[in-house]
Structure 1
């Protein structure tokens, strides 16, 4: 606020006129002496503007300035807290990466409904669903086994068809730096490079139950509840190998081969010794 030539009162020096002003200092000429004061702090302690309208405007300016300062302090505090959380998460990532041991079933097979089928290959992310019961009811599920060696197999079956008709629509590696234990929001994003979407013709040749078998019910093809289940690392390698065999476009074959090589490397699987598929359907057809 411009206070030049405004009349002020000081408790000791009496009435004076402001002769100079900048962002830090205000100069005032009193009857017998010239003084300099810290601006605007002195107006809260020693100085009073005589004109009531000017004084009111000045008070409003001070309030606004204090509010801006408080907002700035709040933003700085929030920034510090965010930085602390980011650092804590980074340390968690480091510990997980250092202590990680490969689980034989650290892949995830996902049951897509019709709406999800439309979105997954656009957004390249899936939601693991919410807890159905217990004290965490409504909170997102955590696919805790997922690590940077994990792939997500996307499956679906047409309405009113048998479970044995479930087909593989595609798959992707999880995003770089993703850890299921820290996935608080339940979303499982895709790797920036290793992603495959199958055509209708290709998907028609990849039946999920050719690869999957439940040891407890080896002759049964049933998916009763849940959006996902864990899947053997070896089975995922079988799927990638078979997708490679299906592809006829050379560039697509190259991309699948790179995916397969990366997958086998991070899961410590010999690419030349991937076992034959042995799911329920494959066993029945033998």
Structure 2
């Protein structure tokens, strides 16, 4: 970080000002209208200009370095996200790709019994292979 304290800085709108405080992420400059706070070094890209040309070049190189680091972090984060998405997709394919088997005790059947349609209120149903007597049911004459 370049020490800019007490350096003269020019702003597009507020004119010349002196740096009164500086940290790694912001800079405070006292102009004739008051003290203003700016992001450091991002504000030097568009709004601020140092009166010392050598310092201005160093600030711009710091800005370029910071942008490079941010882009590298962004790329690294995107790669990590892609890896996690691929991991989840692979896990989902593995789970959904396997054939699910269910034990026989979990299977339920619903059977509606009818008397073959001999009763007026009954549901007409005829099975060619299955007869009421084979299921232990009463014959159609004694139904309901």
Q: Does the TM-score normalized on the shorter chain lie above 0.5?
A: yes
- Aligned match of 2:29: 28
Secondary structure of 2:45's match?
Answer: helix
Length-normalised TM-score, structure 2: 0.61
- Aligned match of 1:52: 53
CA distance in 1, matches of 2:8, 2:29: 9
Secondary structure of 1:99's match?
Answer: coil
CA distance in 2, matches of 1:33, 1:79: 45
CA distance in 1, matches of 2:14, 2:74: 36
- Aligned match of 1:15: 16
Aligned CA distance change for structure 1 residues 33 and 95 (closer, same or farther; 3 Å): closer
CA distance in 2, matches of 1:23, 1:53: 19
> Would the aligned equivalents of 2:8 and 2:18 in 1 still touch at CA under 8 Å?
yes
Secondary structure of 2:62's match?
Answer: helix
CA distance in 2, matches of 1:32, 1:65: 30
Structure 1: gaps spanning 5 or more residues: 102-286
CA distance in 1, matches of 2:63, 2:80: 25
- Aligned match of 2:99: 99
CA distance in 2, matches of 1:100, 1:12: 70
Please tell me the root mean square deviation across aligned C-alpha atoms, in Å: 2.0
Secondary structure of 1:79's match?
Answer: helix
Instruction: State which structure, 1 or 2, has the greater radius of gyration over its C-alpha atoms.
Output: 2
Output one character per residue of 1:59-101: Cα deviation in whole Å (capped at 9) or x when no partner: 11111110111111111111111111111111122123x3179
Secondary structure of 1:92's match?
Answer: helix
CA distance in 2, matches of 1:33, 1:90: 59
CA distance in 2, matches of 1:93, 1:32: 66
Question: Greater RCO between the two (CA within 8 Å, min separation 6)?
Answer: 1
Secondary structure of 1:3's match?
Answer: coil
CA distance in 2, matches of 1:90, 1:31: 63
- Aligned match of 1:66: 67
